[in-house]
Structure formats: C-alpha cells, structure tokens
Amino acid sequence: MRAGATAADATVSVEGGSSSFTTTTPTGGPPPNPFSSTTTNTINYNFRRVVMPKHMDVAYALWQMRVLALSGPKAVYRHATYRKQTKNQWGRDDPTFCVLTSLFVAASAIGYCAMYERRGVGKAAWVVLSAVCFDYIGCGCVIATAYWFLANRYMRVKSSGRGMCRNKVGDAHRVPGAA
C-alpha cells in the first residue's frame, strides 16, 4: 500500500474467463471467499454481511422497494441490466433488501399480535419469531434451493460447465436479476 493510503483504498483485481472485476475490502487484503468448499465459512461470511450495517445500502434497497410497489419490476430490471453492463454482476452485493423485508414482516407480525393475540408477550414473541424465521426466511431458503437445483440441473448450458452461483440464490425474495 502506498504511503498515506488507508485500508479502504486497497483494491483486489480478479480476472477469470471473459470477465474481470475489482473488489475493495476494508482490511486491504483479498476479500473472503464466499464460495469455499466448507459450509461453515460461507455461513459465517453471509452472517457477517447481515450484522454489519455499514456495508448495507439502505437507500438503494428502499428505492427498489418503492419502485417495485409503484412502477413494477420493469424499472428495477432495467437498472439491473445497467448494473450487469457496468459491474458484470446481476445479484446484489449486500443483504439489505432481505434484512429490510424481514423487519417489515416482523412489524406486520407485531401489528397482528397487538390486534389479535391476547395470550401474553411470550406467545407474541413466538409468533413474530416464527413469522420471520420459519415463514419468511425458512420457506424462502427452501424454495430458493429447489429452484437453484432445478436451474443447475435442467437449465444449464452443457458446454460451459458452470452452474448458478449458490450465494445468488438468496435473491429469491427479490425480482430475478434485480440489482
């Protein structure tokens, strides 16, 4: 690193096949490999991304939600194609969209409990926890994994030998290809 440069200025260039991209890491070293062979490393990497708010682009995720609600997915898809052309990446870098929708599911479950659940705070907490963890995240993971399997099994071009990236399966709660 040059004199006077901060760790945030460090970049790592990765080239592979017909595409290349540059990643900036806060530590200045190479980015963690989310595609490692061990599931534990991948889970730890993704969990760290969820609990680090400085890596989340909340304004962009809220803009996406507003455009999806008011204009439909066409405008978001158009921005996703721009992102694909500039960054060569279809999926989002951060889990902000899923975190925000989880908070909205929790808020709606709290509203439901406030209106209809009269069996105590413990039961209300269980309703909120099950709505977020089991109904939203759990069902989303099951459905995303099923579609990931189907896409890799039946929709892959045989000559490329490359499958769909497993980390991008988390985009199941968003418009396909949404940036």
Q: φ, ψ for residue 24 (rounded to 5)?
A: -100, 130
Give the containing element (helix H, strand E) for 159. Answer: none
Q: Which residue is it, tokens 């595609």? A: 35
Residues 100-129 have pLDDT tens digits of 999 999 999 999 999 987 888 999 999 999
Contact predicate 168/84, CB 8 Å: no
Q: Given a cut of 80, is residue 168 above it in pLDDT?
A: no
More confident residue, 175 or 59: 59
Helical ranges in the chain per DSSP H: 39-50, 58-70, 73-87, 96-116, 121-129, 139-154
> What region does 22 belong to: left with phi over 0, alpha with psi -120 to 50, or beta?
beta
CA 126 to CA 115: how far, in whole Å? Answer: 15
Residues 47-80 have pLDDT tens digits of 777 777 777 888 888 988 999 999 888 888 888 8
Contact predicate 61/100, CB 8 Å: yes
CA 82 to CA 91: how far, in whole Å? Answer: 12
Q: Which residue is it, tokens 């039961």? A: 123
The rounded mean pLDDT for the chain is 74
Q: What average pLDDT does range 79-93 have in this prediction?
A: 80
Q: Among 4-8, 39-43, 96-100, where is mean pLDDT lowest?
A: 4-8
Contact predicate 78/39, CB 8 Å: no
Residues 22-52 have pLDDT tens digits of 444 455 555 555 555 556 676 677 777 777 7
pTM, entire model: 0.61
More confident residue, 82 or 47: 82
